Chain A
């Protein structure tokens, strides 16, 4: 089908294209942006006056909870939540149950995704067998089955030797290795940042060194092996500085940050709020500002949701006994654009961190509106104002500290491969 969206502000942060004009879609691809090509006769015309169109978001970390934890969420429920949040592509970490360590799990997930609303679901394969940290997973088979990279999620590796061998083996196939920088022994039973707040609340702390010590080991091995490594979910200023230095030295490393790390700190744990129980933990204001600065300088090139939906019981208990994680698909875009309001980033830079930035990390075609790119885009009303409310929420997990926050702007419709997969009903947008 051919579609013309007229009089719309077309924003493509990938090449800083920004003009009021047209977006032309032919089949599942972008045909043109700005001017309408001669002879283009669309089957459908949409008036985009007052609206923006920009590439659909690419989210580097979203747990769908399927297979294994369907009582928390399903691919069907969470892809719809993603679409409502303007996210067209999600990357699923391998810590499902069973873990994604063979083609069978990849086929199951992609099969379920095909039956869902249309959001593209990519997977990371396991780095080690059953994520146990000892024996390597069959990475070549995972790559053939469609894995976009390999990762051990938040599961520790038995030794630095295993990490070294995993890096070498993955490099054989050009696979990107996605690693979380968390030393397991320094993390211990910790459940929040180690500092004055953990001392006051009597909670076991996770020191900053749990991140920087692990990062030091990772970077040393990247230097040794030349492996392409993406560091997932930075939480500290020092960690961000280490990544910046390594990139400046030309090491093939990149990094992302979860959106909540850019807004919340250890202080938000307040009186044991389980919605602020996340791993890696919320750290100090200094860390938050350091992460923001690294993001603004492009040293951190992606913001992800780190979406982790939970059933209510998971968050019902004393803090350390609750399960960590935030249901975050539907707040990724609003929080990212809040950074523009805060004056941290320009609109293009902010959008790049959730579109082309993450797409480039895993070599995806999405996240841009250039002719020939997949027609994945968001129709966005910058003038609307929306409060985050449980009644509107589509994720099965209601575990978010952001209910009650109000944001400027709202997604009108999310299109994937040239088709609308989610559209705000007219009474909602009134």
Chain B
């Protein structure tokens, strides 16, 4: 490893003179390379394009009989999941294996673990085993930032979802899917429909779409599922699905969690589906070549009709496939930043 690229030890925030570290710089090296992948916010268009281009080369490879490259041979990647996940963890694992890395899956039930100290203790123990990368999912917003700030220099952190904050690789695979089908973003109208308030996926998608200079980004939801001042993220807000779907080129549906009814965000699934469910009839309001996307797992009959989820406009399964290529791209790029 080259001495000059060794990042300085993460300073204790309390010792820094104000105004503190520059926002979003935690995940970049001094020369603008990805050191961690914590959030899409603050990345530039060139970097996102580079990630998508790199993913493109892996996607071609993933379609071949021999799907493995030795880029990360000898590296150890730990999937550290404090929150249950099947698809995300599996595609991260496959991505790591196709890059020839050794993979360790650790699932920690947060209901039995206490927060804070134990998170750091877990981290220190794994560091002692000389791992190279953590892929982290955690129920608390900012968990990936916290880990990145405290991890030993030389270890990369990939955010696989933190609370309501960010899910950057999901947003990137969505951008990859859109780009494969639509090419240029600047003329597109993209609508994100559903529970924006609780969605880390939506937040990361909104940042990514805006960085890629998408023509128009819309969010469509009842007011009780929209976060405060959501328009300041750079979106047009619609409360009416029919109006919001008019002429859009991409529809991204979000999953509705059952517990939203218990906390008085919504009266019932039935009323939600009537007002915000994507049906074949409503799909006709969109552009004829409109893509239908969903980060999964979809609740059929709650946010989306089966005929739409399985229909000709749907690219939901493609999203899963591309997830592997995009995660391979991000993993290889952050390890490159640490090695170059």
Q: Is the CB of A319 within 8 A of B141?
A: yes
How many residues belonging to A are interface residues under a CB distance threshold of 8 Å? Answer: 35
* Residue of A270, A275, A321, A398 touching B140 (CB-CB under 8 A): A321
Determine the chain B residues whose CB is within 8 A of the CB of A246 once the complex forms. Answer: none
Q: Across the interface, name the chain B residue whose C-beta is closest to A402.
A: B18
Contact with A along B12-38 (1 / 0, CB 8 A): 011111101101101000000000000
State whether the Cβ of A316 lies closer than 8 Å to any Cβ in chain B.
yes
* Cα distance A313–B150 in the bound complex, in angstroms: 13
Q: Is the CB of A318 within 8 A of B14?
A: no
Interface residues of B in 106-127 (CB under 8 A from A): 115-117, 119-120
Q: Is the CB of B41 within 8 A of A195?
A: no
Contact with B along A175-209 (1 / 0, CB 8 A): 00000000000000000001110111111110100
State whether the Cβ of B8 lies closer than 8 Å to any Cβ in chain A.
no
Q: Is the CB of A196 within 8 A of B228?
A: yes
* Residue of A207, A317, A403 touching B115 (CB-CB under 8 A): A317
* Residue of B17, B23, B163, B230 touching A202 (CB-CB under 8 A): B163
Q: Is the CB of A199 within 8 A of B15?
A: no
State whether the Cβ of B84 lies closer than 8 Å to any Cβ in chain A.
no
Determine the chain B residues whose CB is within 8 A of the CB of A404 once the complex forms. Answer: 15-18
Q: Is the CB of B146 within 8 A of A318?
A: yes
* Cα distance A409–B166 in the bound complex, in angstroms: 44
Q: Is the CB of B15 within 8 A of A201?
A: no
Point out which of B18, B142, B165, B228 has the most chain A C-beta atoms below 10 A from its C-beta.
B142
* Cα distance A273–B115 in the bound complex, in angstroms: 17
Q: Is the CB of A400 within 8 A of B14?
A: yes
Determine the chain A residues whose CB is within 8 A of the CB of B20 once the complex forms. Answer: 270, 273
Q: Is the CB of A272 within 8 A of B227?
A: no
Point out which of B21, B138, B227, B232 has the most chain A C-beta atoms below 10 A from its C-beta.
B227
Q: Is the CB of B233 within 8 A of A201?
A: no
State whether the Cβ of A322 lies closer than 8 Å to any Cβ in chain B.
yes
State whether the Cβ of B137 lies closer than 8 Å to any Cβ in chain A.
no
Q: Is the CB of B228 within 8 A of A205?
A: yes
Q: Across the interface, name the chain A residue whose C-beta is closest to B24.
A: A271
Q: Is the CB of A201 within 8 A of B165?
A: yes
Q: Is the CB of B23 within 8 A of A270?
A: yes
Interface residues of B in 193-236 (CB under 8 A from A): 200, 203, 227-230, 232-233
Determine the chain B residues whose CB is within 8 A of the CB of A316 once the complex forms. Answer: 116-117, 120, 150
State whether the Cβ of A132 lies closer than 8 Å to any Cβ in chain B.
no
State whether the Cβ of A390 lies closer than 8 Å to any Cβ in chain B.
yes
* Residue of A202, A322, A403 touching B162 (CB-CB under 8 A): A202
Determine the chain B residues whose CB is within 8 A of the CB of A200 once the complex forms. Answer: 41, 203, 233
Determine the chain A residues whose CB is within 8 A of the CB of B115 once the complex forms. Answer: 317-318, 321
Q: Is the CB of B14 within 8 A of A390?
A: yes
Q: How close is B145's CB to chain A, nearest CB, in angstroms?
A: 5
Q: Across the interface, name the chain A residue whose C-beta is closest to B200.
A: A202
State whether the Cβ of A399 lies closer than 8 Å to any Cβ in chain B.
yes
B interface residues, Cβ below 8 angstroms from A: 13-18, 20-21, 23-24, 26, 41, 115-117, 119-120, 138, 140-143, 145-146, 150, 162-166, 200, 203, 227-230, 232-233
A interface residues, Cβ below 8 angstroms from B: 194-196, 198-205, 207, 270-275, 313-314, 316-322, 390, 398-401, 403-405
| Interchain residue pairs A-B with the least CB separation, the first 10 | A202-B165, A317-B116, A202-B164, A404-B17, A272-B142, A318-B140, A202-B141, A321-B115, A199-B227, A196-B229
